[in-house]
Amino acid sequence: MKIVTKLFAMAAAVTAIAVVNSAPASALEKPKPAPAPTAATAKATFAGGCFWCMEPPFDAIDGVLSTTSGYIGGKQKNPTYKEVSAGYTGHTEAIEIVYDPKKVSYERLLAVFWRNIDPTVKNQQFCDVGSQYRTGIFTHDDAQKVAAEASKAALVKSKPFKSSVVTEITAATTFYPAEDYHQDYYLKNPIRYKYYRNGCGRDARLRELWGAEAVAGRSSSRSLTLGASTNLLRGRILRLRCSPYAGYVTRVCQTRRHELRPLATVSRRSHIIKVKQGRAFSGDLT
């Protein structure tokens, strides 16, 4: 009898393992918490439609330490992408920015935000329609509220388009980081990202609204040194020459040597390395 009981217990354990192993990765994946600001840093939260497209312009800014895609403005706790994208939770897609106020001002972030959205439509951004894509500025204190309202008022007076500005300014509520596969999507899946962005008509509409100002937040070509991350690379990389790639903020840097190893995404054929504001990214050699 004891043997039979043990056999049943073993069978149950094997079945449980099989169920876990057969579950899709997305079902088991839990989002990582957004980096917490320290006394020397601050947070800014903006909603500008698809969060994939809102990370690049801010990642290009010196003084921005991190961008995290996620959800804000709803009532449900711990929403998933499937729930938010279906419009059930009341959240909107947004990004949370951790930045160094000594290097970049909140006003600068606001300027970049405006010129990367269409502030003339409610519950929609480009090809994405629904309240989950509404634009918004979510302030974290009174100073941010004052700055955001002043920024919006100035925009209303100087806007290069006729339509009204409908983007709302509200106090920040709980921000829920999105699933891991959404984070840095434009770096992890550059081809799919570019296909989506072009197909959605985002850049065409931004140029229509803002003209030359639509490129705000994209730095010009320059030399970039890999700071503290350099000693983590097994190759000898002293300096990189970087320039925007395909109109986006992702950096494509020509290297002087071939000894690149992981902590960077490298192409052996063209000897390029993708970096994000001077911080090397982990990835496999291709």
- 237 vs 208, higher pLDDT: 208
**Residue corresponding to tokens 């925007």:** 244
Q: Is the pLDDT of residue 33 over 50?
A: yes
| Residue 241: partners with Cβ closer than 8 Å, 6 or more residues away | 221, 223, 224, 253, 254
Residues 269, 274, 280, 282, CA torsion sign: negative
Q: Return phi, psi of residue 275, to 5°.
A: -130, 160
Please identify every residue annotated as catalytic: 50
Query: Per-residue pLDDT tens for 40-75?
Result: 999 999 999 999 999 999 999 999 999 999 999 999
User: Residue type at 130?
Assistant: G
Task: Answer whether residue 275 shows pLDDT above 80.
Answer: no
Residue among 241, 199, 244, 194 at smallest CA distance from 222: 241
pTM score: 0.66
On whether the CB atoms of residues 175 and 143 are closer than 8 A, the answer is no
- What residue ranges define each of the domains in the chain, with the CATH number in brackets? 42-215 (3.30.1060.10), 222-280 (no CATH)
pLDDT at position 31 is 62
Structural tokens at position 90: 């009341």
Higher pLDDT among residues 282 and 211, named by residue: 211
At residue 124, what is the residue type?
Q
CA distances from residue 239 to 83, 208, 233, 265, 280 in whole angstroms, order as listed: 45, 37, 13, 16, 13
β-partners of residue 124 are 129
Q: What is the average pLDDT across 21-25?
A: 39
pLDDT tens-digit readout, 109-139 = 999 999 999 999 999 999 999 999 999 999 9
Query: For the chain, what is the mean pLDDT?
Result: 74
Q: Dump pLDDT digits (tens) for 244-261.
A: 333 333 333 333 333 333
Half-sphere exposure of 103 (CA within 13 A, CB side): 12
**DSSP string for residues in 60-87:** TSTTEEEEEEEEES-SSSS--HHHHHTT
Type of residue at 237: I
Alpha helices in 25-123 (DSSP H): 25-28, 51-59, 81-85, 106-114
pLDDT value at residue 214: 87
Residue 137 has what pLDDT?
98
Between 223 and 132, the higher pLDDT residue: 132
How confident is the model at residue 32, as a pLDDT?
A: 61
pLDDT number for residue 63: 97
